[in-house]
Every structure is written in C-alpha cells, then in structure tokens.
Amino acid sequence: MTTRWIEPVTLSGASVILEPLSLEHLEGIRSAVKDGELWKLWFTSIPAPENAEAYIKTALDMRENAGAMPFIVRDRETNTIIGCTRYFNVDETNHRLEIGYTWYAESYQRTSANTEAKYLLLTHAFETLNAIAVEFRTHWHNHKSRAAIARLGAKQDGVLRNHTKTADGIYRDTVVFSIINHEWPAVKQSLTFKLNK
C-alpha cells in the first residue's frame, strides 16, 4: 500500500473539530447549508440540500484520485456540523496545496470558527506536511471571502482573469492569495493572538 502526502487526519481545536468527510455526514451537511440557504449565493458553489450527496461523492472522488483531503467542520460544544473545507490542488512533488471549498452555516459566519479551522489546516500543512506554500482562491465578487482570506495573513498574488466558467456559463475572475513557509511563523503568531482575544 502506497502512502500519500496527505493522509486522513482529524484536527482538533478549542471550538472546532475538522474530520475527514464521509457519506455519514450527509444529514449534517444538509442541515448546515439550510442555515442561510447558502446554495443561493451566485458567486460560490455550495450544494443545495438535494445535491449534498453528489457534493460529498465528488469530494471523495477528489480524495481518491487527486490527493485532496475534504473535511467537515464541527462545533466542538454542540457537536453540530457547521461547514466544510478541504485541501486540494495538491502538488505533492513541490509540496504546495490549496485550501478551499470552504463554507459555513450562516450563523457561524464571522465567528472564530473559520479562523480556528484555518489555523488548524495551516499548522498541519506547514508543520506536519512541510508545505512550502498554501494557496487560497476566491471569486472576484466574493468580497466576504476575500476579506476573510486577507485577515488570515495571506497575501494577494494576483487575479486570474476569465479563469473558469461557472455552472451558469459566466466566466469568473479568480483572486489568488498565498502564505509561504517563511511567512508562517508570523502568520501563526497573528492567528494565535486573534484566537486568544
């Protein structure tokens, strides 16, 4: 059996737990997307409740065939699934990866949940996987996401114009951010400070 660079792992923080995604999480995913009717956001791809099973199967296929690692995000106190995130666009040879497909139930947006989840993912990426760079990408029009990525301490690398075609056939401009390994100690210190406030 060959080992992969990114193996399934559970990452635990003070308020959130990240667990490898499975079909057992289907009902929790359905409940989370209903909180805010997230699938109606035109600038992101969050599944409608009836499409949640296909969403999970696609994520698991990416894990098996592209080295990705999808997670559910669980509120530690209530044990409720509050969102999803994943490592993907994995470049094992060059030790680079992207964190994305991140979304949270509306009631958990603008809380510490995203900051702590990103802290856990970045710590694992830089300190266990020895990544040299972690990327984040978002839609040009997703201003909340762009601001959240910048608050993490990632730097904007640029904008990929007409980068990908969305489900409705419109081309999206993609904003690319990254954190590199030499920046991680300062970013970690900043995130730790924010989480301890």
**Each residue's pLDDT tens digit, 108-164:** 888 899 999 999 999 999 999 999 999 999 999 989 889 989 999 999 999 999 998
Residue 45 has pLDDT above 80, yes or no: no
Model pTM score: 0.92
DSSP 134-176: EEEEEETT-HHHHHHHHHHT-EEEEEEEEEEE-TTS-EEEEEE
- Higher-confidence residue of 99 and 42: namely 99
- What is the identity of the amino acid at 166? T
Q: Residue 121 and residue 117: Cα distance in Å, rounded?
A: 6
Order the strands of the 96-104 sheet from edge to edge: 11-12, 16-20, 69-75, 81-91, 96-104, 133-139, 171-180, 155-165
Domains and CATH numbers, the chain: 11-196 (3.40.630.30)
Residue 89 has pLDDT above 70, yes or no: yes
**Each residue's pLDDT tens digit, 157-178:** 999 999 988 878 889 999 999 9
Quickly state the pLDDT bin for 1 (edges 50, 70, 90): very low
- The whole-number pLDDT of residue 47 equals 83
Which is nearest to 175 in space by CA: 196, 144, 130?
144
Taking residues 73-98, report their average pLDDT.
Answer: 96
What 3-state DSSP class applies to 72? strand
Q: With contact defined as beta carbons under 8 Å apart, do 46 and 105 qualify?
A: no
Q: Residue 75 and residue 144: Cα distance in Å, rounded?
A: 21
Which is nearest to 86 in space by CA: 67, 65, 103, 100?
100
- What is the identity of the amino acid at 75? D
